Chain A
């Protein structure tokens, strides 16, 4: 039982490059989330998926897209990376309104 897994752990991109962050959970949770964490800013919600087949914008969705591939997997895509997207990205999952379980994070640097 791995919980929530994220790949990659680290990534360096040049401005304008694209990439997809992968997230998978094996807890049969309905809801999945993508957050970014910047120093002094706490965790900010980018997108979430309340259930398979639905996605919704969070607080800071600009520059990102998401895909809920199936119940287990929720990916985050940066189409044209910008230095402002340098951050630590966390995926999380939950059983509806209960506690959220976080993955280990992806540390992304955009130069």
Chain B
């Protein structure tokens, strides 16, 4: 199935600093989804990117899909303590596996107030 590498595994930032997590694949992706999981909680869908070079914004969060559709990033501007959690990218299989989402291992964000 699809494989996706997510980096970094952990990130500690001072409140107010920016944060970026990256998701990389060796194969071309049809689309990519991003999820956030708060400590002790469950994953919550943030966004789906479909088009090459797509950029979407949600308040302080900026999501990008690479031109070659092999990588994606999530950037948070001026982090707040409410941003704490683990951010996952997820990619969909193709053909018979298209119902399956493969998740990256996640980037755990800690924000120091």
Interface of A toward B, CB cutoff 8 Å: 31, 33, 40-45, 48, 50, 56, 58-59, 90, 92, 96-105
Contact = CB atoms under 8 A, between A and B. Distances in A.
A42 B104 contact: yes
Contacts, number: 50
Nearest to A105: B42
A45 B48 CA distance: 19
B43 A43 contact: yes
Given A59-B1, A90-B42, A90-B43, A43 B100 contact: no
Nearest to B89: A42
Given A43-B88, A97-B92, A56 B99 contact: yes
Contacts of B9: 40
A67 B93 CA distance: 23
A48 B100 contact: yes
